[in-house]
């Protein structure tokens, strides 16, 4: 009997715990409703006033009444790192009643270095903002010429969040009654405060109507109109219709997350650039270990502590070791299959991954591998047969990227014959119709960069360039381009890469002149077979096929 009682009590206890857990986790409101304000009253009113863009002075004396349920959805000018306090300390309490924890991140640094870290972070973030923000992000209000006043650009809301729509107003001739209709499609409309003498209909819905016999009161009410995104999409826009009697205006609200910065802590306090903390040298090698060693030796002569990342797809790879060297081995792909398999896989787009064994081996795949291992702010791409000299001043290239909005800047390559090449190419796309667009590539550049007389803005540069690591990783290298490719990277990056070229920073190219009495090594013969295959038409066919289908071009013109 006693055992039965214990069992019943245990069942009752477990049932109570489960019911409490169910009640705690049961959703009672929409997940978009978040109380982000801790205090109400005058502080809420002041914050609402601060959000009004250039308010009409005549409207300042018109009173309003805050709607806490709407105003509390507006984000504060700052975030607070705080979790849930208190709680019941029982077994399985966190499982049944999960609580939010908060972890301040500045504790990762010692107190003595924290201020210096903050200073460097602020400097990097300021540079990031200059590069990521454009005039298209600036808020512009169309004055009431029609007679509606509304924002023409620059209105932005985070997904599932709430904002006040800035700049709404009606500038109309005197009449007995005024009305405004506002309609959205991806969110709801409401007011953060109510103004006396204004009738509100449809608040909290996609269509809202405001009406009043008093124009000033109506305009005051328009200052508190809010928009809440209700359909989650990380990057889209809502088209809002703004209407009054006989007039209509349409404007858009961008719905998107803010760009998350990717900043690099170089740890440098000196005025000069710390190249070893800022730059990683990346290269792809294949068979030419003698030339690769010459490159490493020349780098170490001028930059002994810079990390060198090497991607290697040789059939019988050799060990490359030394301080600040990272050597990564890739699969070896035979030349006979590379172009054929790649093109067929691209063309029919149905081969299983195991059939496309050679697609992810070779030149551009090696670039992807090397770039993926770079952790510094910048990467310097070089061929494995380049040689650093006293004119290979990486500090100059770093200075260009630090002081401009460029993402990538190329140098110049000095050949053994004495000729110096920059390989500057402009790339443009002419919009076509159903058959696709036209790609135009021309030698040259767009204009000289102010403050850097030896540097120009262009679209494609030579195989010796310094670039922002995150931007190169963003564009990537198509691994289907196995042995012969270069400009294709800049074609893929057109529109997202801001490219420059400077001819006062040079690197030497190992001589390709072969004397008649000097026989070619077996390694060089094998390399030439892969690098310059006899079936060159296959390589051309592959490139043309990718440009046609992947990039939707119908033709390519170049000089």
Six-digit token string for 219: 């305009």
Please answer whether residues 288 and 384 qualify as being in contact, where contact means their C-beta atoms are separated by less than 8 angstroms.
Answer: yes
Average pLDDT over residues 206-224: 95
Output the pLDDT for position 351: 31
Six-digit token string for 493: 């990056």
Output the pLDDT for position 465: 96
Q: CA-to-CA distance for 420 and 503, rounded, in angstroms?
A: 9
Six-digit token string for 158: 């985070």
Q: What is the DSSP letter of 136?
A: G
Q: CA-to-CA distance for 342 and 482, rounded, in angstroms?
A: 9
Least trusted range by pLDDT, from 28-37, 273-282, 302-311, 504-513: 28-37
Return the higher-pLDDT residue of 500 and 514.
500
Please answer whether residues 191 and 65 qualify as being in contact, where contact means their C-beta atoms are separated by less than 8 angstroms.
Answer: no
Return the higher-pLDDT residue of 91 and 177.
177
* DSSP string across 148-212: EEEEEE--EE-TT-EEEPTT-EE-----S-EEEEEE-SSEEEEESEEETT-EEESTTBSEEEEEE
Average pLDDT over residues 315-320: 86
Return the higher-pLDDT residue of 511 and 493.
493
Percent of the chain clearing pLDDT 90 (strictly above): 39
- Domains of the chain, by residue range, sit at 42-75+135-256, 275-558
| Cα–Cα–Cα angle for 488, 479, 349, rounded to 5 degrees | 100
Least trusted range by pLDDT, from 248-257, 395-404, 444-453, 520-529: 520-529
> Cα 252 vs. chain centroid, distance in angstroms?
22
Output the pLDDT for position 524: 60
Which SS3 state, helix, strand or coil, does residue 100 take? Answer: coil
Q: CA-to-CA distance for 378 and 68, rounded, in angstroms?
A: 48
Least trusted range by pLDDT, from 76-80, 111-115, 342-346, 544-548: 342-346
Which SS3 state, helix, strand or coil, does residue 13 take? Answer: helix
Q: What are phi and psi of 386, to 5 degrees?
A: -90, 160
Q: CA-to-CA distance for 501 and 448, rounded, in angstroms?
A: 9
Place of tokens 């200075």: 399
> Cα 353 vs. chain centroid, distance in angstroms?
29
In whole numbers, what is the pLDDT of the chain averaged over residues?
79
Return the higher-pLDDT residue of 66 and 242.
242
Output the pLDDT for position 17: 61
Please answer whether residues 376 and 264 qualify as being in contact, where contact means their C-beta atoms are separated by less than 8 angstroms.
Answer: yes
**Alpha-helical segments (H) within 451-535:** 469-475, 487-492, 522-531
- CATH number for domain 275-558, candidates 3.90.550.10, 3.30.160.340, 3.40.50.460, 3.30.465.10: 3.90.550.10
159: confidence class by pLDDT, cuts 50, 70, 90: very high
Six-digit token string for 54: 């250039």
> Which residues touch 82 (CB under 8 Å, ≥6 apart)?
102
Q: Is 42-75+135-256 a domain of CATH 1.20.140?
A: no
357: confidence class by pLDDT, cuts 50, 70, 90: very low
Which pTM value belongs to this model?
Answer: 0.70
Percent of the chain clearing pLDDT 70 (strictly above): 71
Output the pLDDT for position 325: 94
For the chain, state the CA radius of gyration. Answer: 32
* DSSP string across 194-248: EETT-EEESTTBSEEEEEES-HHHHHHHHTTEEEEE-S--SEEEEEEEEEETTEE
344 pLDDT exceeds 60? Answer: no
CA-closest candidate to residue 100, choices 116, 117, 81:
81
pLDDT (tens digit, 9 = 90+) per residue, 42-97?
A: 444 555 555 555 556 777 778 888 888 887 777 765 666 666 776 666 666 666 66
Helix, strand, coil percent values for the chain (each to nearest 5): 30, 25, 40
Q: CA-to-CA distance for 475 and 513, rounded, in angstroms?
A: 35
């Amino acid at each position: 009997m006693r055992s039965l009682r214990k069992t019943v009590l245990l069942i009752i206890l477990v049932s109570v715990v489960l019911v409490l857990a169910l009640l705690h986790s049961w959703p009672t409101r929409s997940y978009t409703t978040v109380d982000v304000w801790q205090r109400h009253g005058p502080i809420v009113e002041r914050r609402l006033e601060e959000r009004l863009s250039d308010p009409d002075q005549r409207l300042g004396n018109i009173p309003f009444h805050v709607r806490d349920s709407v105003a509390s959805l507006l984000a504060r000018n700052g975030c607070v790192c705080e979790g849930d306090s208190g709680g019941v300390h029982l077994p399985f309490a966190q499982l049944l009643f999960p609580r939010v924890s908060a972890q301040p991140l500045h504790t990762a640094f010692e107190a003595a270095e924290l201020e210096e870290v903050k200073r460097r972070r602020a400097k990097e973030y300021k540079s990031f903002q200059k590069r990521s923000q454009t005039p298209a992000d600036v808020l512009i209000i169309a004055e009431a010429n029609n007679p509606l006043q509304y924002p023409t650009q620059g209105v932005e809301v985070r997904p599932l969040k709430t904002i006040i729509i800035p700049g709404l107003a009606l500038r109309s001739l005197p009449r007995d009654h005024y009305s405004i209709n506002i309609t959205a499609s991806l969110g709801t409309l409401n007011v953060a405060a109510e103004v006396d003498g204004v009738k509100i209909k449809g608040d909290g819905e996609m269509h809202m109507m405001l009406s009043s016999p008093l124009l000033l009161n109506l305009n005051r009410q328009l200052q508190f109109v809010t928009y809440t995104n209700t359909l989650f999409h990380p990057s889209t826009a809502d088209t809002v219709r703004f209407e009054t009697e006989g007039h209509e205006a349409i404007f858009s609200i961008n719905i998107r997350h803010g760009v998350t910065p990717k900043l690099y802590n170089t740890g440098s306090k000196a005025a000069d650039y710390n190249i070893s903390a800022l730059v990683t040298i990346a290269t792809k090698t294949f068979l030419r270990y003698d030339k690769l060693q010459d490159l490493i030796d020349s780098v170490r002569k001028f930059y002994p502590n810079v990390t060198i990342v090497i991607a290697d797809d040789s059939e019988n790879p050799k060990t490359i070791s030394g301080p600040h060297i990272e050597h990564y081995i890739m699969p070896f792909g035979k030349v006979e299959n590379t172009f054929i398999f790649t093109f067929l896989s691209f063309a029919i787009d149905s081969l299983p991954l195991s059939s496309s064994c050679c697609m992810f081996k070779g030149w551009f795949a090696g670039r992807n591998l090397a770039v993926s291992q770079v952790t510094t702010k910048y990467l310097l791409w070089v061929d494995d047969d380049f040689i650093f000299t006293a004119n290979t001043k990486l500090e100059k290239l770093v200075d260009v990227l630090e002081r401009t909005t460029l993402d990538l800047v190329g140098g110049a390559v000095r050949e053994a014959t004495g000729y110096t090449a920059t390989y500057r190419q402009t790339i443009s796309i002419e919009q076509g119709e159903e058959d696709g667009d036209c790609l135009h590539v021309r030698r040259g550049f767009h204009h000289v960069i102010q403050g850097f007389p030896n540097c120009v803005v262009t679209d494609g540069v030579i195989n010796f360039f310094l670039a922002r690591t995150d931007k190169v990783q963003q564009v990537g290298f198509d691994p289907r381009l196995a042995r012969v490719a270069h400009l294709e990277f800049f074609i893929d990056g057109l529109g997202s890469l801001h490219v420059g070229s400077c001819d006062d920073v040079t690197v030497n190219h190992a001589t390709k002149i072969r004397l008649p009495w000097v026989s070619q090594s077996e390694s060089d013969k094998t390399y030439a077979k892969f690098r310059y295959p006899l079936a060159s038409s296959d390589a051309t066919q592959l490139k043309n096929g990718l440009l046609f289908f992947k990039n939707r071009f119908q033709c390519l013109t170049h000089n």
